[in-house]
Structure 1
Amino acid sequence: MKAYFLIIGFCFQMLNGIAGNGFTFTLKGSVKSADGSVLYIHHKWNDVYFKDSVIIRKSKINVKLQSEEPNLYWFSYASNPEAQPMCFFFCDPGEISVDIKSKDSIAYSAISGGTSQQVYMQYRIMQAQIVATQMALQSAYQEAAQRADQTKMNQISQEFNNLNTHYLNSIKAFVKSNPSSPVSAYIIYTDLSHPSLPLSETQEAFSHLNTTALKNTKFYTLIESKINKAQGSTVGFKANDFKQNTPEGKSISLSDFKGKYVLLDFWASWCRPCRMENPNVVAAYQKFKDKGFTVLGISMDSNKEAWLNAIKQDQLTWTQVSDLKGWSNEVGQLYGVGSIPQNFLIGPDGIIIAKELRGSALEQKLSELFNK
């Protein structure tokens, strides 16, 4: 079965952000059967975890906290911010009330607070209903797989597709109903900004946000940045420019190739599928290099000697660049490269024409372009 786990995978992403003006809020309430225990309150800002703590006394907590803006927080009995179980809430200026029934049920604590928390709880209720359906489908699929019931498996796979479509539509409707809430921006960032989703889904939801109310907030800015970056690696949009060095240390930029068709070819010496694909790229390069086509290789290597040996062995005579940071290659990150081989065909005007042209597809596409 194709993996249809869009929903669960997005539930508890931790987030980065930007600085805001800040305010104070109070976390106050009752905690059963936990006197003397330490409750940790976590959040993340600018890619750094922050935590506060309070000792539970007489089954009560009362702690003042500082936040940059309405933001996602969570509390647990663990100092480690990623340790389960945990309970999430959205803060606003004022008081957040919490009722923790027991140490074992912290994830199901009752929380009430300002407008952001109310909107967040509406979202979580909607999400929980979808996830319950998803889990039931997953269980049914596993049972069908054990019986080798392919018909039932296909049916459930389609139901997964339908459920994901329903979830995406529900999220967009939710955002449209709460356009000024920072929670809506948070939801778009966590649920609709995944690389597996079309950029248009993110853009559609983002267009519903109240720019005046949210333009300087954390999640709004993150989404806007993500959309701008994603457009630079999306067919039909202008490719992201960059600079990186050749093996000899010469700085090369994508804009150096303006006026030509250029294939950005992401590969590595250690990547067997890449090495198997290289003869196809070599053949296309030899056939069309005199017609205004070239290749710019971006290596995901970290070992320079291995990179140079592979260039020589595979007879890659076009320009090659790398920062030798492996999977952390800055151009790879700029283009959202999560697997290789990967390529992007860019036109003379800098617009991305196609991507993932492997096998005979590259030569076929170039033939179409040069034989118009």
Structure 2
Amino acid sequence: MKKQALILAVLLPFLAKGQSSNFTLTGKIGHLNAPAKVYIDYMDFKDNGGNHEDSATVVNGTFTFSGNINGVGTARMALSHNGEGKQYAVYVGDVIYFYFGKEKVVISSKDSLSNAVFTGSKVYNEFVAYNREIGGTIMELTKNANLAYNAATPEQQKDSLFMAGLNKQFHDKVAERAKNQLLFARKHPASDFALVGLSEGLTFEKRPEELQPIFAGLSESLRNSKKGKDVDMRIKSITLTTKGAKAPVFKMNDVDGNPVSLASLKGKLVLLEFWASWCSPCRAENPNLKKQYELYKSKGFEILAVSLDKDKAKWKEAIAQDGLPWLHVSDLKGWGNEAGALYGITAVPAGFLIDKEGKIIGNDLRGEKLNAKLAELLGQ
């Protein structure tokens, strides 16, 4: 009896693990072998059950991932063909973004993830139909813009007017895509991708009077999901953070655990800067911020930097490496940062210039635009 109990105790974790998996992603990419490796990051996009990471070595072109999601999962999958590692695969190499469900999905291609065909996934087919209706993915629009640039002659590539035209074409298509996303949300209020479209589209559409009715028209289950509540808060944050609005106040701990309140900075011109140690564009702006801080700190200029880091050591290391002398706070919740949610932050860097009375007088000013505004306000 004891022996049987012991065997059962050993087997239970494995049985539980097998029972907990409600999806599989099986890949067949040519005949690749080690050191080729596939990396995946995925999460339930409505219930926000946390981000999951996994990796698999490719054996004769095949790999498999399995796990558990509550609803629809959103994933990033990257293939390192020659063992370059995850960072290279994600930012330089072979990478795809997709949605999937509680399904047995097969991903197959002769050579790469980027050319892969998906079978066995109703959710993926809905994702394809959604992208067809809104005008393609951002990656497709970017790829087409790059193709247009590469097709230009060397003379055209040096022509500022020609390049401005290409840039306008790209941004016009992105803006049109955002409008189509909101239209999709209106037309398909029960679709999971209505929430995706509204979430992405509101980044470009800043009129809450238009966005709120679209959100209200979504199905109750979508509105009450974690993603739905986040979208509702972001719509409300647009009203809260428009130019001329009173800046929403918050309190958050600095690197030493001491609370810092935005309200305590009333009487100063404050740049509320959202950033992260892993954000290259954020850190590229730091030298300019340092210069402006030195110029105007004696005239009442302050920077309150809110980090969207999760790792405190990396956050502190970035502050030290870049030599940033201003105020720093974080709750170390990453994209779940409470101040970030209050201000509707979906990308970094993002900044708000707040006057001495606590009103927002500028959004996303950086580089020369920030410098000119500071000179106008404090340069006398």
The TM tier, using the shorter chain, reads 0.5 to 0.7
8 Å contact from structure 2 (residues 272, 354) kept in 1 = no
Task: Decide which of 117, 124, 132 is 2:124's aligned counterpart.
Answer: 117
Give 1:152 shift.
3.0
C-alpha distance in 1 between matches for 2:201 and 2:96: 22
Question: 5 Å matches for 1:191-210?
Answer: 191-192=200-201, 197=204, 199-200=206-207, 204=211, 207-208=214-215, 210=218
C-alpha distance in 1 between matches for 2:78 and 2:252: 44
Change (3 A) 1:206 1:218: farther
Which residue does 2:196 correspond to in 1?
Answer: 186
Which residue does 2:42 correspond to in 1?
Answer: 44
Give 1:122 shift.
0.6
Which residue does 1:7 correspond to in 2?
Answer: none
Give 1:343 shift.
5.6
What value does the CA root-mean-square deviation take over the aligned residues? 5.6
More helix by share: 2
C-alpha distance in 1 between matches for 2:233 and 2:305: 25
C-alpha distance in 2 between matches for 1:129 and 1:248: 42
Q: Determine if the alignment matches structure 1 residue 108 to structure 2 residue 116.
A: yes
Partner of 2:248, secondary structure, is coil
Give unpaired runs (5+ residues) of structure 1: 1-21, 286-293, 309-319, 367-372
Task: Decide which of 144, 157, 163 is 2:167's aligned counterpart.
Answer: 157
C-alpha distance in 2 between matches for 1:105 and 1:245: 42
Task: Decide which of 221, 225, 228 is 1:213's aligned counterpart.
Answer: 221
C-alpha distance in 2 between matches for 1:146 and 1:255: 54
8 Å contact from structure 1 (residues 31, 99) kept in 2 = yes
Which amino acid in the other structure matches residue 68 of structure 1?
Answer: N
Question: 5 Å matches for 1:128-143?
Answer: 128=136, 135-142=143-150, 143=152
Change (3 A) 1:107 1:229: farther
TM-score, length basis structure 1: 0.57
Change (3 A) 1:338 1:81: closer
8 Å contact from structure 2 (residues 109, 115) kept in 1 = no
Which residue does 1:5 correspond to in 2?
Answer: none
Question: 5 Å matches for 1:67-106?
Answer: 67-73=69-75, 83=89, 85=94, 89-93=98-102, 95-96=103-104, 98=106, 100=108, 102=110, 104=112
> How many residue pairs are counted as aligned between the two chains?
311
8 Å contact from structure 2 (residues 57, 63) kept in 1 = yes
C-alpha distance in 2 between matches for 1:323 and 1:154: 39
C-alpha distance in 2 between matches for 1:221 and 1:172: 17
TM-score, length basis structure 2: 0.56
Larger mean Cα displacement after TM superposition, 33-42 or 227-236: 33-42
8 Å contact from structure 2 (residues 208, 238) kept in 1 = no
C-alpha distance in 2 between matches for 1:120 and 1:187: 11
Q: List per-residue Cα deviations over 1:128-160 (Å, max 9, x = no partner).
A: 488666544434445255344444334333322
Q: Determine if the alignment matches structure 1 residue 146 to structure 2 residue 163.
A: no
Partner of 1:68, secondary structure, is coil
Question: 5 Å matches for 1:1-372?
Answer: 25=22, 27=24, 42-45=40-43, 46-51=49-54, 65-73=67-75, 83=89, 85=94, 89-93=98-102, 95-96=103-104, 98=106, 100=108, 102=110, 104=112, 107-114=115-122, 116-126=123-133, 127-128=135-136, 135-142=143-150, 143-144=152-153, 146-147=155-156, 148-189=158-199, 191-192=200-201, 197=204, 199-200=206-207, 204=211, 207-208=214-215, 210-227=218-235, 233-243=241-251, 251-256=259-264, 262-265=268-271, 271-278=286-293, 281=296, 285=299, 296-298=302-304, 302-303=319-320, 321-323=327-329, 338=348, 344-346=353-355, 348=357, 350-354=358-362, 356=365, 358=370, 361=373
Give 1:70 shift.
1.6
Structure index of larger Rg: 1
C-alpha distance in 1 between matches for 2:177 and 2:108: 30
Give unpaired runs (5+ residues) of structure 2: 1-18, 44-48, 274-282, 307-317
Q: List per-residue Cα deviations over 1:44-67 (Å, max 9, x = no partner).
A: 23553244979999x999997531
Partner of 1:215, secondary structure, is helix
Which amino acid in the other structure matches residue 263 of structure 1?
Answer: L
C-alpha distance in 2 between matches for 1:30 and 1:266: 45
Give 1:111 shift.
2.2
C-alpha distance in 1 between matches for 2:257 and 2:74: 44
Q: List per-residue Cα deviations over 1:17-58 (Å, max 9, x = no partner).
A: xxxxx997455989597699999794523553244979999x
8 Å contact from structure 2 (residues 109, 117) kept in 1 = yes
Highest RCO, 1 vs 2 (Cα 8 Å, sep ≥ 6)? 1
8 Å contact from structure 1 (residues 244, 322) kept in 2 = no
8 Å contact from structure 1 (residues 264, 344) kept in 2 = yes
